[in-house]
Each structure stands twice: as structure tokens, then as C-alpha cells.
Structure 1
Amino acid sequence: MKTNLITREGLDKLNKELNYLWREYRPEITQKVTWAASLGDRSENADYKENKRLLRQIDSRVRFLRKRIEAVKVIEYSPQQDGKVFFGAWVEIENDDGETKRFKIVGPDEIYGRNDYVSIDAPMARALLKKEVDDEAVVKTPTGDQTWYVNNISYQNPKVDNG
């Protein structure tokens, strides 16, 4: 079961995708379908078949996005979160081997195409919730428990220079 939490940035991205699909991509493909249909015999018309397939995919994604956007709850940053790991936090962790990882804890809709985002539903995120710097988090994995230590917690992306 997916958590219905999302960051403001994540919601903006879903809305942007929906607008693009509905206002730009779908009309473009609809035009191609109309053009291909005007050529006559549709049974052997690859353009027609391919663009009809694309239209079905677009419509399916649009329906999904509309339902998802209604279902999600935006979690805004709150100063009370400072010093602890909560939704929306950038976390840096380290294990006993000195291996470090840095990622942001986000909603399940936001992780695609990002290797520095971890879903709030993931065992790693669950193990880190409410932890503070220097706390130990035990993450249950298929290969056994892994211990990680919290090095840093931030609610702004530390890689972005705000100066």
C-alpha cells in the first residue's frame, strides 16, 4: 500500500506532467490519429494503430494522475522537525564500513528517475524516522539487519548553494 504523502515539489511535478499530457501531448497525438485515419484502410495502417495505442496510454496516465493528485496530501516543512528525521528530510547516513549515503525521504510518487530519493514506505526511511544526528538505525533487509548512523539531517538540499 502506497503512502499518500508528497512534497510540494513532488505535487508540482505531477501537475506539470498532467498539464503537459493533457494540453500538449494528447492534442498532438489526436491530430496524428485524425491524419492517419484520413488515409483510409485502418486495418493495415501502422501510424493509426500506433497513435491510437499512444492515446490509450496517455488517457490511462491522465486518469491515474488526476486520481493520484486528489488523493495525495502535501507535507510542508515545519521548524519543529529540525534535528530529527521526518518526511522531506535530506539525510546523510554512514555504516561501520565507512560507506555513506545521502538522500531525501519523499512520497512513493517522487522516487522515479532519482537515485537520491527514498520512498517513505521503504525500510530504510521507516528505520530512520524520528532519529537524530548520531542515532543508530537498524534497517531490516532481505540479507539481514544493517546498522546505519545518522550523520546529518537537513530540510534544505545541502548541495544547493543559497548564497
Structure 2
Amino acid sequence: MDNRTNPITPQGLAALKARYDHLLGTERPAIVEIVSWAAGNGDRSENGDYLYGRKRMREIDRELAFLARRMKSSRVIEPSEQSDKSRAWFGATVTIADEDDEQRTLTLIGDDEQDPSAGKIGWSAPIARALRGASVGDLRRVRLPGGEKEWEVVEISYPDERAS
């Protein structure tokens, strides 16, 4: 996969679009209204509503630009349509076990939709890079901040097309 593209699931892209639409259609107009009201109140140098509103508008504009860039570079990949389901590729749910036979289940998804606490690992995370292309039974070594760790791939699955 090309590093210049942003692999993402259809659900992840929908979430980015929803956030973009919410910022553009709801939050920004509300802040514009507050800023214009505050600007009409006179001295802007000591007007908290005006200063905060302008600051918040800049934050929203930055986030809108970021989201637009991410969506433009996105490459939607449907995990259930992966051609080689015997290996861990984008969208795979992989169960791994460490030396102590403690198992973790991870889903390899786009960086914009990652949630490590829920086992959703971004495609460019070190453990996801190590698992790319792995088959059941493969040992994969990952260099983490706490040191190097080795995992064995126990199971690989992909979402069912009908469940999408």
C-alpha cells in the first residue's frame, strides 16, 4: 500500500465525513454568529466572546482543512473483499499470543479510525506493520518503547460481506 494514501474502511470514511459536516454545518455557523454579535458590542480587545470565538473559529478551520486533506488522500478498502484472507492485510482481525500465552485480538484499520483500547490498531502502527502479510502460526517480532516483544499469529479473520 502506498504511504501517500490513507487506507480507510467505508465506516471510517463515513465518520470523517460526518465530523467534517458537523463542524462545517453546525459548529462553525454558531461560532460565526457569536463572533459577529460580539463584534457589534464595541471594544474587541477586551471582549472575551469575540476573542474566544475567533480562536475557536481558527481551530475549527484548521480541523476542517485537516479532515479535507485526510479525506482527499483516503483510499477506501472494504475488508471483506480482501483477496488473500489467509494472511493479515488491511481490515483483518488478528488474534496473537505472546510468550506467556496471553492472547490479544487486534483489528488492522486506518490510522484515522484507530482505537487501541478497543483493539483497533492503525495501519501504520508498529504492531500493524509487523503483522502485515502474516499467516496463522507465524512469529512476529515488534520493537516497542518498552522493548522488543514476539507474538505468534493464532487466528486471522475478516468481516463477513453480508454483515457490512
Normalization by structure 2: what TM-score? 0.86
Segment drifting more, 77-86 vs 23-32 = 77-86
Secondary structure of the corresponding residue to residue 81 of structure 1: coil
Aligned match of 2:16? 14
Aligned match of 1:84? 87
Write the mapping of 1:65-80 to structure 2, written as runs, cut at 5 A: 65-77=67-79, 78-80=81-83
Aligned match of 1:32? 34
Q: Which letter does structure 1 place at the counterpart of 2:83? A: Q
Secondary structure of the corresponding residue to residue 137 of structure 2: coil
Choose between structure 1 and 2: higher helix proportion.
2
What are the ranges of 5 or more consecutive residues in structure 1 without an aligned counterpart? Answer: none
Quote how far apart the aligned CAs of 1:37 are.
1.3
CA deviations 1:85-141 (Å, max 9, x no partner) are 001111111101122221211122222585421121122111111112222111123
Contact 1:2 1:121 in 2 (8 A): no
Asked if residue 94 in structure 1 is aligned to residue 100 in structure 2, the reply is no
Quote how far apart the aligned CAs of 1:7 are.
1.3
Provide the aligned C-alpha RMSD in A. Answer: 2.1
Write the mapping of 1:4-153 to structure 2, written as runs, cut at 5 A: 4-77=6-79, 78-111=81-114, 115-153=118-156
Measure, in 2, the Cα distance between the counterparts of 1:112 and 1:39: 44
Aligned match of 1:155? 158
Aligned length: 158
Secondary structure of the corresponding residue to residue 128 of structure 2: helix
Measure, in 2, the Cα distance between the counterparts of 1:64 and 1:71: 11
What are the ranges of 5 or more consecutive residues in structure 2 without an aligned counterpart? Answer: none
After superposition, the Cα gap between the structure-2 partners of 1:113 and 1:146, relative to the gap in structure 1 and judged at 3 Å, is closer
Q: Structure 1 segments of 4 or more deviating over 2 A?
A: 112-115, 140-145
Q: Matched residues, percent identical? A: 37
After superposition, the Cα gap between the structure-2 partners of 1:114 and 1:16, relative to the gap in structure 1 and judged at 3 Å, is farther
